[in-house]
Each structure stands twice: as structure tokens, then as C-alpha cells.
Amino acid sequence: MGTASSPSSESHLDCDVLVLGGGPAGTWAALEAAKSGARVILADKGFCGTSGATAPSGTSVWYVPPDPERRHAAIVSREALGDHLADRAWSARVLDATYDGLNHLGERGYPFPLDEAGAPIRVSLQGPEYMRLMRKLAKGAGVRILDHSPALELLVDGGGAVAGARGIRRQQGDAWRVHAGAVVIATGGCAFLSRALGCTALTGDGHLMAAEAGADFSGMEFSNAYAIAAAFSSVTKTLFYKWATFTDAGGDEIPGAASNGGRSVIARHLQTGPVFARLDRADEAMRQSMRSAQPNFFLPFDRMGIDPFTQRFPVTLHLEGTVRGTGGLRIVDETCATGVPGLYAAGDAATRELICGGFTGGGSHNAAWAISSGRWAGRAAADHGRRAHTGAARQGAGTVGLRDAGARPFDPAEAARTVLGEVHPFERNYFRTAAGLGAALDRLDRQWEGLRAAAAADRDGVLRTREAAAMTAVARWMYRSALARTESRGMHRRMEHAGADPAQRHYLTSGGLDAVFVSRRPAPALATNAAEIAA
């Protein structure tokens, strides 16, 4: 079996912990691993500190002071939204870790605003300042950062344990190979080349690499998240549309259209004609607050001379997949281990069902999960990595695009377009049916078979090839899980099965490459009496 063409030179590095991904989860993992005494390398597909969904935006954070009543109320308040799949014990752990993490940021210089009493307000973060500080803290702790260095595949030892990775350096035109005692996948979710801000590079690369090493997934049916945006903008700040009036082309208000609970109405109308919005329900104080909190939201409007508070503007829905969804790599214990020795997952690359159930938003719980899971995964990876035998022989676990399976090349751009055609349309992904899911899977399965039978990509095409393969794989896990859940729960909607089925209150594990499997796991027990609810 041949391998993909290699650059003329390759950097060989060794460390205890390799972190793949330089967003919030990745930088927290790298920071915690380094603070634990591990030698740490972080490889980012872009420039660590500016790439990913968080860096260009502001985000709310699930930050609650350690008051028992407030913590309990915060946990219970979101359970119904996620259709009762969240685990209260995990939620409590996340609140603890997030509280400590944000306090640490404050101590290290993050400019939190102050309330009237002079106390810091730590319920949101501005992405540019946040990620600039996280890069600084990671480097200050001794983390070596490889920018513009996407990973292509994991390395495994003779026993199947993950022991490093290899990738390319896009600016230098060469390659890197890192031998590590443990690896943290923090590559973010899969947004299927959505136009959503910061999501272009989020193509499920880490999901594919982990699956090739034997990892599986959970909650992939909860991956059909669409976010509202102005039709001329990539900024998806759905919260602001809480103050919007939605109208049709003739100016008539659309009954039921809303940012929360009414996005399906917007999607229905977009299938037949344009939808417009005006943020006319925000008073003057709220308008000033919105501009202060999220200045990038208003940039496209200002450039076009539109006042979104007084003038109508066209809107659309951008697919954000597993970025705003809750599906991702299944974690098997409190260390964020994946079940594959030496491999950990954090942030949007990992499932957020444990704290969100079947529904979440763009920040809040996801932002808290990135902080907490990153910290846990980094510490555990450091412990494992220092104990691992670094002298073991390693081989690549990668498949599509990396090793010849035949002489036929394929066009990664065409393969990507095929995936997008199956996952972006509302009628396939938002309003799901057994017939629609089955037909899409037939096409995606055929594409996967073609990718598996293709020749290895050359140096110039290998990254795009791997991205197309990753998106194909993620779509197959997503739709197989959606087909198996014959109910509507969380963000997952089956048109022929309206409403949640109490008998299906469980988690779905999915995985596999050539043959995708789906199986059930029990969800945590529901609180059934006043004492349990108050606990």
C-alpha cells in the first residue's frame, strides 16, 4: 500500500502531550498539561489565537458563583430545552471548573467589565482578547505552538494506543511528525464549510482521525443546528434576534417566527421566498448594550448603511452542524478519555450531551464546556503522557487520501460539494424524514466507498482531500444516528415522529468507517421526587 507524497523535509518532535487545535479547549488543555509538568506541543490548523469560532466573536459563558441555590437553578433551567438528557453531576463539575477558570483569567489580566459596585462581570468573553491571552498564557507555560500546521493523521503504537500525529506546515511547505505520550483532540466541531463566522476551517478533521484510531461518537443526531444571520453577513448572533420582528417579502409579519422556538418557521418560509427582520423590539438602552457587547455584529450593517433597528434586512440560516450542536466524540470518564488509550477529547470536538442534552446555543454551555473539558483533558493527558513508553514504534492510522487503495484519483472539491448538497438543505437536515435520510445516506455511502478506493493525494491536495473525507464521515454518523432516533427530541426533528418518545430517552453511540454502527446507551436517571430535584 503506497502512502501520500511527502514533502522533501519533515520535522520530528517529541513531547509528553500533543494538543490538536488552538481554540479555547485546545489552549486550556495545553496550559493545564504544561502546568502539570508535561512537555507540550500544540498544533493548530490556523494561527492559534485567531482561528476558530470563538476568536472573532464575543461569547456568553455559563458562569455561576458557587451558591447552591443559584447553581441548582442554573442546572435545572436548561434541562427541558435539551429534552432531559443532561447529567446533573457533569453540569455541577462544569460549573465548578468554569468558575475557577474564569477567575484565573481575571487574575492573569483579562479585562472583565465591572458592575456598579466595582465587581468583575464574568458571564461573557470577547473572543479576540480571550484568545490573545490564552495564547500568551500557553506560551508562557512553555507550550510549543505550531501555527498553520493541520494534522493529517494520528500515530498509533503496536498495541493500538495513540502516540502522536503527523501533519503539514502550510507556510513552510514541509511536514511535521510528533511522537507523544498522549494526544488531545480539540479541533472543534464540523460546520460543513458553512459561511458562519470562524467556521470555515471546522470540517471534522479531528473526528475522522479519532475514528481511524478506533474512537466513537455520541449525540450525532443533535448536529443539525442552524443559526440566524443577515443574508449578507457571516455573523451568527441568534440571541440578538430575540428583539426582531420577522416579515415576508410583502412586509407582513410571519406568525410564529422567532429566534427561539420559531426558527423552523423561518426555515419553512425561506424555502419559498425571502424573510426579513428588523430589531425594532429593542429599546434604546438595549441597542447601546448590544453594540457594546457584540460590535462585530453591526459591522456588515454599518458598511451597507443599514440601521438594523429601524430598517428591514434579509436574513438566512447558516448550518453550524456540530459546532452549535451537541454531538461529538464520546468520552468515557471524568478525564475526557475517548476509550482509545492515549486519546482525549475536549471542546466542540467532544459531545456536549452531558450538560446540554439534545440542544444548546452558540456560547454559554459550549464555552463553559470548552474551558472545563480542556482543563480535564490536559491534566489527564499529562498524567498518561509522562508514563507512556515514548520509544515504541509508531505507524499512521489514517485512511482516505493518505494511502493508495487504487489508481483512481478523485476531486476533493466535488466531494465536498456532494456533502454540502446533502447536509445544508432544510428539507434534508432540518425537517428530517426516513425517506430523506435514507436517500442521503445512499449517496454519502457511495461517496465514501469511492474515497476509500481512490489513490493517495499529492502534497498540494492532501489537506482538502482529508477535509472532504472528514465531512463525508461526519455526515454519515450524523444521519445514521438521526435515522435510529424515531422521535423528535432536542434539535433533532423527525417529521413522521412529532414529539419526544419517553421510551427513547437514551444516548446513541455511533462510529465506524466503512460500516457505520449505531447503538443505545442509558441516559442518567431522571429526578422523580422533591428531594432528588432539590439535590
Instruction: Find where cell 503496536 sits.
Output: 158
d(CA 440, CA 28): 37
**Concatenated DSSP letters for 33-93?**
HHHTT--EEEE-SS-TTT-SSSTTSEEEB----S-HHHHHHHHHHTTTTTTT---HHHHHH
Q: Please tell me what DSSP assigns to residue 389.
A: -
Report which of 185, 192, 182, 180 is spatially closest to residue 217, judged by C-alpha positions: 185
Task: Supply the CATH classification number for the domain 10-218+322-396.
Answer: 3.50.50.60
- CATH 3.50.50.60 intervals, the chain: 10-218+322-396
Q: Which residue ranges in the chain fall short of pLDDT 50?
A: 1-2, 4-7, 528-531, 533-534
**pLDDT value, residue 141:** 98
**pLDDT value, residue 16:** 97
The topology under which CATH files domain 225-321 is Flavocytochrome C3; Chain A, domain 1 (3.90.700)
- CATH 1.20.58.100 intervals, the chain: 412-522
The topology under which CATH files domain 412-522 is Methane Monooxygenase Hydroxylase; Chain G, domain 1 (1.20.58)
d(CA 307, CA 285): 16
**pLDDT value, residue 535:** 52
> How many angstroms from the chain centroid is the CA of residue 496?
28
| CA distances, 381 to each of 102, 137, 345, 395 (Å) | 22, 19, 10, 20
**pLDDT value, residue 494:** 96
- CATH 3.90.700.10 intervals, the chain: 225-321
**pLDDT value, residue 58:** 83
The count of other CB atoms within 10 Å of the CB of residue 331 is: 24
Q: Which three cell numbers stand for residue 320?
A: 453550524
